[in-house]
């Protein structure tokens, strides 16, 4: 895709049900993302090659989503200088805690910015990518300001609604 700055790499197509929230959040900010399925364990050569060429291919941020052993984001980070955000996926064991620990516990010099497990993490990965890109894009920064203001306003409205229910 032309002018695509974010790559989303999933360890399995089954992760799409969660990762779709990341993709859609990026779209809300006007950011297109390329989505690929690659595995740190089953297609390690392809994952490494993708990460090694990501900057040359115009990407600015890579988001890696994986469950279980969840080494994907770390493998990608080990093969690029681009920032990598890891989304731990709810997996077949430990309700995603295994994924969280595998994603966040990286060795010195190979950081992976790790977000929450699952859907909230997928949305936050997108917001974090937007924040990174907004450092060099004033229009995107303005959209973030509006996003934060909308969250602020939603909380105040929610409180006002509650106060009405309580008769205040």
Containing 37, the helix (H) or strand (E) segment is: strand 33-37
Residue 1 pLDDT exceeds 60:
no
pLDDT on residue 109: 97
Distances (CA, A) of 60 to 40, 102, 133: 21, 23, 7
Residue 63 pLDDT exceeds 90:
yes
pLDDT tens, 82-120?
A: 999 999 999 877 889 999 999 999 999 999 999 999 999
The percent of residues above 90 in pLDDT, for the chain, comes to 92
pLDDT on residue 3: 64
Average pLDDT over residues 41-67: 97
pLDDT on residue 68: 87
């Amino acid at each position: 895709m032309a002018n695509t700055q974010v790559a989303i790499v999933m360890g399995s197509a089954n992760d799409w049900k969660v990762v779709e929230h990341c993709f859609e959040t990026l779209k809300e900010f006007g950011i297109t993302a390329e989505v690929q399925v690659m595995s740190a364990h089953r297609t390690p050569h392809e994952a490494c090659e993708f990460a090694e060429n990501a900057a040359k291919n115009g990407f600015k941020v890579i988001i890696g989503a994986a469950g279980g052993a969840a080494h994907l984001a770390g493998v990608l980070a080990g093969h690029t200088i681009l920032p990598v955000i890891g989304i731990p996926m709810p997996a077949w064991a430990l309700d995603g805690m295994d994924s969280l620990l595998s994603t966040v516990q990286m060795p010195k010099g190979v950081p992976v910015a790790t977000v929450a497990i699952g859907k909230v993490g997928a949305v936050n990965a997108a917001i974090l990518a937007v924040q990174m890109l907004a450092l060099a894009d004033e229009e995107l920064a303005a959209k973030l300001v509006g996003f934060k203001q909308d969250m602020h306003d939603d909380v105040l409205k929610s409180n006002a609604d509650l106060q009405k229910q309580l008769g205040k």
